Structure 1
Amino acid sequence: AWIVAGALVVALVVGTVGAAYSPLFAVERIEVVGTSALPADQVAAALSGQIGTPLALVDDSAVKQALVAFPLVESYTLQARPPHDLVVRIVERTPIGAVQSDAGWSVVDAAGVVLSTTPDRPAGTAAIAADGGLSSPAFTAIAEVMRALPASIRSQVTDASATGRDDVTLRLGDAGAKVVWGSVDKTPLKAALLESAMTAKPAGSVSCYDVSSPDVLVVCAG
């Protein structure tokens, strides 16, 4: 009886593994989730080479190579959903602004990855001026500040500049209210203080917010 039971277990395991690697569980549909700026259908089309591949044999290196063509993709995960679905979960890069060069205006994320380049500055994008370029401490400081800002404030930033990690300055809205940020020390606290100050006195009604010293918030009259 023990021999028969053992043989049945082995047969079940072999059958299950065999089925998993067979066309019975081949990819027939690729579902891309998590995208907003990136067209999901384009990503799915780029991965169409995996159609017909058993879910257990999906080539992760080939998937990675296909997704390299999409600069907006920051990371991804694959999920097999038997019997025939491959789910690709995308995390997109978040643009923080645009830098100007001889090639035009390049939209970048906080890591300095160029997401797109156009002749003219994209509407609604902050112009970034960082001494030393995208690999400089100045850009790293600007990126840290921009990522810490609430989305409602980040969308109002028209200009962000710095010469190093200790002198970040922002401009807000059409009126150009100045935000003196100073160093990146206590950036989360400064972001919270700025949000509170802008709720009480919107950017159109003042000329500056100084959060460089979080213990003494300064709001300049318009």
Structure 2
Amino acid sequence: MADRLVDPTVEEELSSSAEDFEDERPPLRLSRRGIVVLSGFGAGLLALIGWLVFFSSVLDVRTVAVQGLKNDKLTVDQVRDAIGPVQHGPLARVDLDAVRRRVQAIPRVAKVEVWRGWPHTLRVKVVERQPVAAVKGADGQFTQVDADGVSFATESAPPPGVPVVELQLSQPAQDATAALPQVELVRGAVRVAAGLPAEVANQAPALLVRSYDDIELRLAGGATVRWGSPERTERKATVLRALLKQAARTYDVTAPDAPAISG
């Protein structure tokens, strides 16, 4: 028996009717009870995650990783000891600001960054203070001072390659300590040390302070630099760098616009 052909018009009507039937099907809807069940499940899941992260030992701090230490003067153990009990417990609950304050309180620390290294690491990055001068005290000890004028360590010897500041005050300077105390004189000398050309500072010269306006450098080779006051230190450093290209026993940059050499 031959197949019967379906009238294209009839076929189009059947297809249209099927689409209309699909469009008229009601959307799936959760019952009120289903919504309550799903909400409860979601809340329970969030509570479980919160407990795991903030209260359980699953994500406890297991390692304190310290970066940036340059020498054995400041050790990882010292940093960890400074952090103290704040470093224990769930990583998410560690007070990063408290850790930062505790590490920043270490005299040798200039800057510190703290962050969480999931899942178990508290990370601490330290920038140590670098001495630009060592101030010789009356007791023979040497106090290290950084470029910001912060004293952060006292030892029996100056660090290698660091200028040494020593007060050898003249009588007028001693008589004027009420108006210009020694601490200000030392500050001025540290400013000079911080501004010295690298090739001079690395020789660890002695900075002799006789008064605010009378600072003298004794270089490693025996030459002397008359520096004068801490004023215009940058300009004096530039001039001194040029003068050192000539061999001499004395370099005078007290008036940097009219320098002189002798010997």
The normalised TM-score by structure 2 is 0.63
Match of 2:124 among 74, 84, 88: 88
Contact 1:30 1:44 in 2 (8 A): no
The residue number in structure 2 matching 1:179 is 225
Matches within 5 A, 1:14-29: 20-22=53-55, 23-29=57-63
RMSD: 3.6
The normalised TM-score by structure 1 is 0.72
Distance 2:42 2:211 in 1: 66
Pairing 1:129–2:175 present: no
1:56 and 1:125, CA in 2 relative to 1: closer, same or farther beyond 3 A? same
Unmatched 5+ residue regions in structure 2? 1-28, 30-34, 170-176
The residue number in structure 1 matching 2:214 is 167
Contact 1:126 1:160 in 2 (8 A): yes
The residue number in structure 2 matching 1:158 is 205
Residue 192 of structure 2 aligns to a residue whose secondary structure is: helix
Distance 1:186 1:9 in 2: 69
The residue number in structure 1 matching 2:136 is 99
Distance 2:58 2:253 in 1: 62
Matches within 5 A, 1:1-222: 20-22=53-55, 23-37=57-71, 38-46=73-81, 47=83, 49-59=85-95, 60-61=97-98, 64-65=101-102, 68=105, 70-95=106-131, 96-102=133-139, 104-110=140-146, 111=149, 113-118=151-156, 125-130=162-167, 131=169, 136-173=183-220, 175-198=221-244, 200-201=245-246, 205-221=247-263
* Structure (1 or 2) with the larger CA radius of gyration: 2
Contact 1:179 1:208 in 2 (8 A): yes
Contact 2:74 2:108 in 1 (8 A): no
1:125 and 1:16, CA in 2 relative to 1: closer, same or farther beyond 3 A? same
Unmatched 5+ residue regions in structure 1? none
Q: Deviations over 1:178-207 (max 9, x none)?
A: 112222222122222223333x23xxx421
Residue 206 of structure 1 aligns to a residue whose secondary structure is: coil
Percent of aligned pairs with the same residue? 23
Residue 88 of structure 2 aligns to a residue whose secondary structure is: coil
Residue 101 of structure 1 aligns to a residue whose secondary structure is: coil
Aligned amino acid, residue 75 of structure 2: A
Q: How many residues matched?
A: 209
